[in-house]
Structure formats: structure tokens, C-alpha cells
């Protein structure tokens, strides 16, 4: 506390042998400090809420449903599985089946 008072060049506490109380500057400093601390924490909570809302929005707007895929035999065996695997990773809510 002494270092802080030296840095601020003002006493924050009025000390006696029987008590300690805030000075007027001390009261202002601690009020400001706690207000700033609360404000910063509140800001982080609001940022986290905005991030969660954004994630929920992406989930709500994600593709979903069922798809039936048909392709010629060669493409269906060689190319389509790789494409469907990548699609499935991006859109896990979409169900697909091969027509055959």
C-alpha cells in the first residue's frame, strides 16, 4: 500500500494506532478501481455472450435434412465417397444415402 501511495503521491488510508480508514482520495481511488474492475469483467462476459450467440446462429442456419445421391458406377465408387466425406464433416446434420 505504501508503494501505491508513493506512486500516487497521496495517502489513501488514514492510519492511527487504533484504526484505519480511507481518505477522500482513497475512497475515490478504490471506488474507481472496483468500478473499472467490474466494467472490464462485464465487458468480457458480454463478449463471451456475443460469441455464444454467434455460434448458436451458425448452428441454427446450418444445413440439415436428407439427401439422396445418385452417380454413375465409376464416379460413385471412386470420387463420390471423398466428396461425401468432406461434405459430412462440414454439415453433420445432413443425412445422405446412395441411390442404387
Nearest alpha carbon to residue 94 among 81, 84, 83, 82: 84
pLDDT along the chain (100 residues), means of 10: 86 91 90 88 91 83 82 81 85 79
Q: Which pLDDT score, from 0 to 100, does residue 21 have?
A: 93
- Cα–chain center distance at 97: 36
Label residues 47-74 b or e (16+ Cβ within 10 Å = b): eeeeeeeeeeeeeeeeeeeeeeeeeeee
Q: Are strands 20-22 and 65-69 parallel, antiparallel or unpaired?
A: unpaired
Q: Which pLDDT score, from 0 to 100, does residue 34 have?
A: 87
Q: Which pLDDT score, from 0 to 100, does residue 48 have?
A: 92
Q: Which pLDDT score, from 0 to 100, does residue 29 have?
A: 87
Amino acid at each position: 500500500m505504501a508503494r501505491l501511495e508513493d506512486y500516487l503521491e497521496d495517502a489513501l488510508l488514514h492510519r492511527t494506532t487504533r484504526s484505519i480508514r480511507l481518505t477522500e482520495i482513497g475512497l475515490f481511488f478504490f471506488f474507481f478501481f472496483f468500478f473499472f474492475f467490474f466494467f472490464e469483467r462485464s465487458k468480457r462476459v458480454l463478449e463471451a455472450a456475443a460469441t455464444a450467440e454467434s455460434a448458436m446462429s451458425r448452428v441454427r442456419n446450418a444445413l440439415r435434412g436428407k439427401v439422396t445421391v445418385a452417380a454413375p458406377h465409376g464416379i460413385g465408387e471412386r470420387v463420390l465417397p471423398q466428396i461425401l466425406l468432406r461434405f459430412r464433416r462440414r454439415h453433420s446434420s445432413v443425412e445422405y444415402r446412395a441411390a442404387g
